[in-house]
A and B are shown apart, each in its own frame.
Chain A
Amino acid sequence: DGGITQSPKYLFRKEGQNVTLSCEQNLNHDAMYWYRQDPGQGLRLIYYSQIVNDFQKGDIAEGYSVSREKKESFPLTVTSAQKNPTAFYLCASSVDRGDTQYFGPGTRLTVL
């Protein structure tokens, strides 16, 4: 079955630690995205990538980093520089930028 997978579903981290969230898709989509969602809020774009080895900052990129070494994978690292990282993180992909986006199940990150 084609789709987007994110792991882990729940993640706990101590303050000051970096943590990497995984996102994999087998839809052969060129574009991939990372969003952050806070309780009762909308989706805010962190980073996006249109092709391999290229990515662009979104609206709230500070404290985050990404890589796109393979078409299928777009991992997100939440660094210690992110002041308030506790949130629900969603990865999405689309055929191309502006096309319908399909979302993974999300990772809920809690900083202790």
Chain B
Amino acid sequence: QQPVQSPQAVILREGEDAVINCSSSKALYSVHWYRQKHGEAPVFLMILLKGGEQKGHEKISASFNEKKQQSSLYLTASQLSYSGTYFCGTESIAAGNKLTFGGGTRVLVKP
């Protein structure tokens, strides 16, 4: 069963913040975040391992709450280049350590 991402879409003005959530029904070992521009391949942003650590990439950071089986991606002071679709990929022992991707969250940053 794939993880659930919310919201499905968000529209921001440049400089605004947003949070994307990724929830799983399975106990997670890690969460991977990717961003995909239209018609292109997904690009890796960051990986969060079991342990609740928080990581960052530019002004994009993420957290992982293994007890709640969820991860959140934080877009801070958004830039136009942040536009795209964000996917979380979850890894769990129950799924044989394969990545299972969520349905994606479309982000549009306007000037």
Residues of A within 8 A of B (CB): 35, 40-45, 48, 58, 90, 97-98, 100-106
Contacts and interface: CB of A to CB of B under 8 A. Distances in A.
Chain A: interface secondary structure?
loop
B93 to A, nearest CB: 10
Nearest to A91: B41
Interface residues of B, number: 22
Interface stretch (B10-18, B63-71, B73-81, B94-102): B94-102
Given A41-B103, A42-B2, A42-B103, A101 B98 contact: no
A97 B30 CA distance: 12
B41 A98 contact: no
A98 B97 contact: yes
B58 interface: no
A101 B98 CA distance: 11
Contacts, number: 47
Given A42-B2, A98-B91, A100-B32, A58 B98 contact: yes
A101 B44 contact: yes
Contact of A102 (B29, B44, B89, B100): B44
B98 A48 contact: yes
Tell me which of A43, A48, A90 has the highest count of chain B C-beta atoms within 10 A of its own C-beta.
Answer: A43
A35 B47 CA distance: 19
Contacts of B89: 43, 101
B86 to A, nearest CB: 11
